Amino acid sequence: MPSIKMGKISIITAVHNGLAINKIFVKYLEKYTVNPYELIVIDNHSTDGSLEFFKSQGAIVIENKENYSYPFCQNQGINVAKGDFLFFLNNDVIVSPNWDKNLIETALQNGLDAVSASGIENMGSFKQTDALSRKWKRIKNPFSLVGFNVRTLKFMFYLMYNNWEKFCNSLFDKNKYKVMEGIVGDNVMMTKDSIAKMGVWDERIQVADWDFFMRSKQRSITVGDMKPCHIALGVYIHHFGKMTLKYGTKKPVSFADKDNIIKLSDKWSQAEIDNYNPNNEKLKRVD
């Protein structure tokens, strides 16, 4: 199949401080993204220079005066996005070489409107996922005691993969465009067509990635005009994992729209969870 190159893609991410990790995020986007892109940043009242940093990088910045929940912010991004493919990325990720091109090609080859790259959370097999997850915990936990900055984050990343490009290219050579049903919440690619079919993120659900997967699964069964979200097994994105919560304050995160948020189980019955989700044991744990 010939290489696919789109006109422009939209990358949407929400931030609340985390300047060090934001700098790494942007560096690897610039290095490894193939298609022309607009970076849309929803800044939730950062106080550590993150807002000014993203502006200096030419990002489209939406400034919130308070810290809002994940789905609320993603919908703010959708409202201004101009790309045909929308990539929702956590800011605490590092993308891989050709990540956007490979995800788009995987979606096209498999007739998908929504796809996630694999990662520490799901590699397609329990054995491989467990091994990577354990390795990352062994690396990350000691650094949690001393704090994170650009230097320590990069060193942790090096300890994890040694040769990042070799690791990612080897995975792509092995799996190419293979997919499996599921979602990795730190990165989700959607076509605008999928948003037209399903609507935007449900702003009541903080674990909106799980809700989105279940909505896509439900639609595939009841309407049949799209497939559920799948994981691209040949594409990998590193996720530092909930480390941004450690920046700036030790107080629990409180969202400005917290009174609007409900539990996943308030929306979906257990029967629906069992029927729609391929990994409902994990789903029960995140609720």
* Mean pLDDT value across residues 116-137: 94
Q: What is the pLDDT of residue 249?
A: 43
> Please, what's the largest Cα pairwise distance for the chain?
51
Order of all β-strands in the sheet with 9-15: 60-64, 37-44, 9-15, 85-89, 187-191, 114-118, 230-236, 179-181
Domain that holds residue 29: 9-286
The C-alpha atoms of residue 148 and residue 243 are separated, in whole angstroms, by 8
Q: What is the pLDDT of residue 273?
A: 85
Question: Is residue 13 predicted with pLDDT exceeding 90?
Answer: yes
CATH of the domain at 133: 3.90.550.10
* Mean pLDDT value across residues 174-192: 95
21, part of any domain: yes
Q: What is the pLDDT of residue 222?
A: 94
Of 8, 26, 33, 224, the C-alpha closest to 117 is: 33
Question: What is the full DSSP assignment across 199-243?
Answer: -S--TTBSSHHHHHHHHHHHHHHHT-SSPPPEEEEEEE-EE--S-
Question: Is residue 49 predicted with pLDDT exceeding 80?
Answer: yes
pLDDT, averaged across the chain: 90
The C-alpha atoms of residue 6 and residue 189 are separated, in whole angstroms, by 14
pLDDT, greater one: 108 or 144: 108
- Give the total number of structural domains in the chain: 1
Q: Which of 43-47, 199-203, 278-282 has the lowest mean pLDDT?
A: 278-282
- Cβ contact 200:231 at 8 Å: no
Question: Is residue 112 predicted with pLDDT exceeding 80?
Answer: yes
Residues contacting residue 138 through CB under 8 Å, at least 6 positions apart: none
pLDDT (tens digit per residue) in 202-231: 999 999 999 999 999 999 999 999 999 999
Question: Is residue 285 predicted with pLDDT exceeding 60?
Answer: no
113, part of any domain: yes
What's the whole-model pTM score? 0.92
Q: What is the pLDDT of residue 281?
A: 45
Of 19, 83, 10, the C-alpha closest to 49 is: 19
SS3 string, 31-78, reads: HHCCCCEEEEEEEECCCCCHHHHHHHCCCEEEEECCCCCHHHHHHHHH
Which DSSP helix (H) or strand (E) runs through 248?
A: none
From its phi and psi, is residue 187 left (phi > 0), alpha (psi between -120 and 50) or beta?
Answer: beta
Percent of the chain's residues with pLDDT above 90: 80
Amino acid at 39: L
Q: What is the pLDDT of residue 279?
A: 60
The C-alpha atoms of residue 104 and residue 115 are separated, in whole angstroms, by 9
HSE-up of 16 (CA within 13 Å, CB side)? 22
Give the CA distances from residue 87 to residues 99, 170, 188, 238, 286, in Å, rounded to whole numbers and listed in that order. Answer: 11, 23, 6, 15, 23
- Cβ contact 20:148 at 8 Å: yes
Q: What is the pLDDT of residue 53?
A: 98
1, part of any domain: no
- Cβ contact 105:85 at 8 Å: no
Amino acid at 165: E
2, part of any domain: no
The C-alpha atoms of residue 135 and residue 133 are separated, in whole angstroms, by 5
Angle at the Cα of 57 (from 54 to 59), degrees rounded to 5? 65
Q: Which of 90-104, 133-147, 151-165 has the lowest mean pLDDT?
A: 133-147
- Strand pairing report for 187-191 and 114-118: antiparallel
